[in-house]
Structure 1
Amino acid sequence: MEPGAAGARRRPRPRVKEAAVAHEEIVDRYSRFARTAMTGRPGPDPASSDDASFEEGCFGAAGYDDTDALPDGALRASLGCGNPVAVADLHEGDVVLDLGSGGGIDVLLSARRVGPTGKVYGLDASTDMLSLARDNAAQAGVTNTEFLHGTIEHVPLPGRTVDVVISNCVINLSDDKAATLAEAFRVLRPGGRFGVSDVVTDDSVPDQDLRRRTETRIGCTAGSLTAGEYRALLLDAGFTGITITPTADHGDGVHSAIVKAAKPPVAPGFEIRPMRAEDADQVLSVYQLGLDTGHASFETTAPTWEAFSSARLGHLRYVVADTRTGRVVAWVAASRVSARLVYAGVVEHSIYVHPDYGARGLGRALLDAFVAASEDAGVWTIQSGVFPENTASLALHRAAGFRVLGTRERVGRHHGVWRDVLMIERRSPAV
């Protein structure tokens, strides 16, 4: 059933930096550190002009407890703010990508966990760091690794290549964090996991100057995202199941944190991703095919894209795409129930699956992803209306935790016939 409208909490948008730190400056700083580490001497802290080390227990190799048999060079070049490998839930045979792999400590630790049937890619923009990492891998006798030269905003891997993306205190260095997270989503296979250590700021920090000084002190030269901004960018990229857990307090509202999320799972050969403007024709085609069944909505003709888009929230809209052809075969979107603040966490949704792609579990996977994303966005109630004759939709929604609230009898005429509508709802147990 095509619902009317629904609303969700307005999400924060990332701040625009007054001046982005030059990419070349960051690469040069870490390259100097790599060259020093290759000499066998402790390297200078890239976050400062002296030889002071990162705060004990928060940065570098001090954050690990499983570094036995790792080369000294990997330990000396460790500049992270946590241990993402410990929380990345790696399994035998996994393919892993480390964004900003530096001297390779997380690559080597991951390689142990995924075993000989798995593989770990390390990506870094510094050729000196890559040389150091390759030397460390050779010294450790690790062969299931590959180190790639490139930036985290433009990952040199095909889409749906890896099972897990990790990173250690690197995403905060990017001056285009939205692109970085979008790339992480792109290279993950459906059901893939995102588990990184990073620097995150409280959503409300009264003194921005203190915050910036703290970010500079701990090496976060491009500025950190707030927890709300991080969550919003992950949602925009398509991730669900988002958790942000502080692990160390650096003062002035700045924390190290573990950030975890997932790419929605779906049947092989398909992908669930955010809806794009270029999907318009295919989305509306699937919409019309649903309307043609006579059991999807009181509407009989799909609207224009402008009308479709303006009636729905800009976020919480997703498609299932055939990865072999790029064809959109299902979609889901949400609308506002009311502009009143009391309904900020209540949305009304609609979901359509191409009739040629039924009985493959695509509708259930898409609805589960939508529910998870809604909870990540702070939605506590999802509602809609379904014709009683639409038994497939009712079964789908019941399986996803929806309940029937009641019947609106003879609420409207459809092709000259008065129709009942069942009102359905899902209340979040989490929000």
Structure 2
Amino acid sequence: MAREEIVDRYSRLARAAMTGQSVTGRDSASFDASDGSSDAGSMDDGCFGAAGYEDTAALPDGALRASLGCGNPVAVADLHEGDVVLDLGSGGGIDVLLSARRVGPTGKVYGLDASPDMLSLARDNAAQAGVTNTEFLHGTIEHVPLPGRTVDVVISNCVINLSDDKAATLAEAFRVLRPGGRFGVSDVVSDDSVPDQDLRCRTEARIGCTAGSLTVTEYRTLLLNAGFTGIAITPTADHGDGVHSAIVKATKPPVTPGFEIRPMRDADADQVLNVYQLGLDTGHASFETTAPAWETFSSARLRHLRYVVADTRTSRVVAWVAASRVSARPVYAGVVEHSIYVHPDYGSRGLGRALLDAFVAASEDAGVWTIQSGVFPENAASLALHRAAGFRVLGTRERVGRHHGVWRDVLMIERRSPAV
């Protein structure tokens, strides 16, 4: 189903709710307000509607009638007083209104929807509820009309599965979140291995997942690619044929104010290599003396485990971390070797620790059970950083190589994951 059709469908549902008709539940979730008919089969028990919430007291009837979600993201989003929240695909506004209660008068909740009729309904519902700490925005979840690092929490209720570009949607969620921000949504997912794909597609169509659901592994991969860590995907309801409603949670890595941890991009090449060279120039970072060409650097490192710290005021890359495989043998699939470099002008700000913590979390999300590296004994700052992040010294490789004409020892360090 094309985006225009989806918007038109939900606009008709909004108009039905405005006239006092319920649009939730098995028989009426796909109600066609134009002629009073029901389009059976496009959405039934995948939609919990208002029944998915525990506390709907004092909410306008219009918000309850237009509740089309598959869960209750507000219950798992860990909202706090003063938080700024964004609801992707806010519909009639039920999650916006519930979130507004949680964040209080010092917080704010944005509702984003592509349907003008849903926005009109949501604004009416907010006015009727007397809620003033909300703002409803017209736009798509693939192109959020907010500046970067604007919100503390992103929520959504059974909407991301409707996107035809889910990677862009998750990248936008990462962009608008502040460092340390939380992602907590209800959505539709499918099992990684479904024997009958035709049955899966029919089930997705039956519960209204018109653009197709992501598998659990696909969802996790897209979240990792966007830059999220601490990923948890928990099924909440089984719709049959390998299709489930689920709660999806993740975090944008926290870091010192004024900076952001994000995935490394090819456009960062010059700045990454500059930081690398500055580290090599200290004489205590590596046996290498000259940073390689970008093609050599990039091809030797895993694309899904490379991150930078960027100064948000200048976009300058001031630190990076990356991993490479230790072996192509299957037994070592969860073992990587890493390198981390911080620009010498940006030391003593906690950036290295924040970046290493984010890398460790991302590696566990990716199924890595061992991170290892080698450090010169003279590099006290690196050893202290790694010990603080849970690494241990396994031993010393004595006189392993010559560096500027001097034989150097190397300490072998390792972190074994307690989670993977």
User: What TM-score do you get using the length of structure 2 for normalisation?
Assistant: 0.96
Percent of residue pairs bearing the same amino acid type: 91
Q: After superposition, what is the alpha-carbon deviation per residue over 1:36-86, rounded to whole angstroms, capped at 9, x for unaligned?
A: 110011x99686943689656952111001100000100010000000000
The structure-2 alpha-carbon separation of the partners of 1:311 and 1:57, relative to structure 1 and needing over 3 Å to count, comes to closer
Q: Are residues 65 and 200 of structure 1, via their aligned partners in 2, closer, same or farther at CA, if it must alter by over 3 Å?
A: same
User: How far, CA to CA, are the matches of 2:288 and 2:321 in structure 1?
Assistant: 17
1: distance between equivalents of 2:74 and 2:208?
21
Offset at residue 175 of structure 1 (A): 0.2
* 8 Å contact kept, 2:369–2:416: yes
Q: Mark the CA change 1:53 to 1:229 in structure 2 (over 3 Å): closer, same or farther.
A: closer
C-alpha offsets along residues 344-394 of structure 1, whole Å, 9 cap, x if unaligned? 000000000000000000000000000000000000000000000000000
Partners of 1:33 and 1:46 within 8 A in 2: no
Contact 2:187 2:247 in 1 (8 A): yes
CA contact under 8 A between 1:322 and 1:328: conserved in structure 2? yes
| Unaligned residue ranges in structure 1 (runs of 5+) | 1-20
TM-score normalized by structure 1? 0.93
Q: Distance in 1 between matches of 2:283 and 2:230?
A: 35
Indicate conservation of the 8 Å contact 2:181/2:254, yes or no.
Answer: yes
Contact 2:42 2:206 in 1 (8 A): no
Cα deviation for residue 116 of structure 1 reads 0.1
CA distance in 2: counterparts of 1:231 and 1:54, whole angstroms:
25
Q: Distance in 2 between matches of 1:45 and 1:152?
A: 28
Contact 2:42–2:205 (CA<8 Å) still a contact in 1?
Answer: no
Distance 1:385 1:75, change over 3 A: same
Contact preservation (8 Å) 2:41, 2:206: no
Quote the Cα distance in structure 1 between the aligned partners of 2:264 and 2:395.
31
Equivalents in 2 of 1:203, 1:86: separation in Å?
Answer: 27
In structure 1, how many angstroms separate the alpha carbons of the residues matched to 2:195 and 2:38? 28
**CA offsets 1:76-112 (integer angstroms, 9 cap, x no match):** 1000000000000000000000000000000000000
Tell me by how many angstroms 1:288 deviates. Answer: 0.1
Does the aligned pair in 1 maintain the 2:44–2:206 contact within 8 Å?
A: no
Q: Shift of residue 196 of structure 1? A: 0.1
Aligned length: 410
| Cα displacement (A) at 1:314 | 1.2
Contact 1:100 1:167 in 2 (8 A): yes
CA contact (8 A) 1:236 1:274 kept: yes
Query: Could you list the per-position Cα deviations for residues 207-249 of structure 1 after superposition, in whole angstroms to 9, with x for gaps in the alignment?
Result: 0000000000000000000000000000000000000000000
Alpha-carbon contact 2:153-2:184 (below 8 Å) kept: yes
Distance 1:425 1:46 in 2: 57
Do the aligned partners of residues 235 and 192 (structure 1) sit closer, same or farther apart at CA in structure 2, a change above 3 Å counting?
same
Contact 1:84 1:168 in 2 (8 A): yes
**Deviations 1:383-414 (Å, cap 9, x if unpaired)?**
00000000000000000000000000000000
| 1:29 alignment counterpart | 9
Residue 33 of structure 2 corresponds to which residue in structure 1?
A: none
CA distance in 2, matches of 1:306, 1:347: 20
Can you list the C-alpha shifts for 1:125-179, whole angstroms capped at 9, x where unaligned?
0000000000000000000000000000000000000000000000000000000
Partner SS state of residue 40, structure 1: coil
- Partner SS, residue 245 of structure 2: strand
- Cα distance in 2 for residues equivalent to 1:321 and 1:75: 43
3-state SS, counterpart of residue 38 of structure 2: coil
How far apart, in 1, do the equivalents of 2:70 and 2:298 lie? Answer: 41
**Contact preservation (8 Å) 1:57, 1:63:** no
3-state SS in 2 of match to 1:406: strand
Question: Which SS does the other structure have where 2:382 is aligned?
Answer: helix
Mapped partners of 1:269, 1:205: distance in 2: 45
Contact 2:26 2:43 in 1 (8 A): no
Conservation of the 8 A alpha-carbon contact between 1:58 and 1:248: no
Note if contact 2:42-2:208 (Cα within 8 Å) is conserved in structure 1: no
Which gives a bigger RCO, structure 1 or 2 (Cα 8 Å, sep 6+)?
Answer: 1
Q: Alpha carbons of 1:271 and 1:358: their partners in 2 closer, same or farther (altered >3 Å)?
A: same
- Structure 1 residue 260 corresponds to structure 2 residue 249: yes
Residue 315 of structure 1: how far off its partner (Å)? 1.1
SS at match of 1:229: helix
Distance 2:26 2:304 in 1: 44
Structure 1 Cα separation of the partners of residues 246 and 27 of structure 2: 20
8 A Cα contact 2:142 2:168, kept in partner: yes
Q: 1:45 to 1:174 in 2, by over 3 A?
A: farther
Structure 1 position 25, deviation (Å): 0.6
Inter-CA distance 416–338: structure 2 relative to 1 (3 Å threshold): same
Q: In the alignment, is the contact (CA less than 8 A) between 1:185 and 1:237 conserved in 2?
A: yes
Distance of aligned partners of 1:254 and 1:56 in 2 relative to their CA distance in 1, 3 Å threshold: closer
Gaps of 5+ in 2: 30-36
CA distance, structure 2, for counterparts of residue 73 and residue 208 of structure 1: 37
Q: Conserved in 2, the CA contact under 8 Å of 1:244 and 1:258?
A: yes
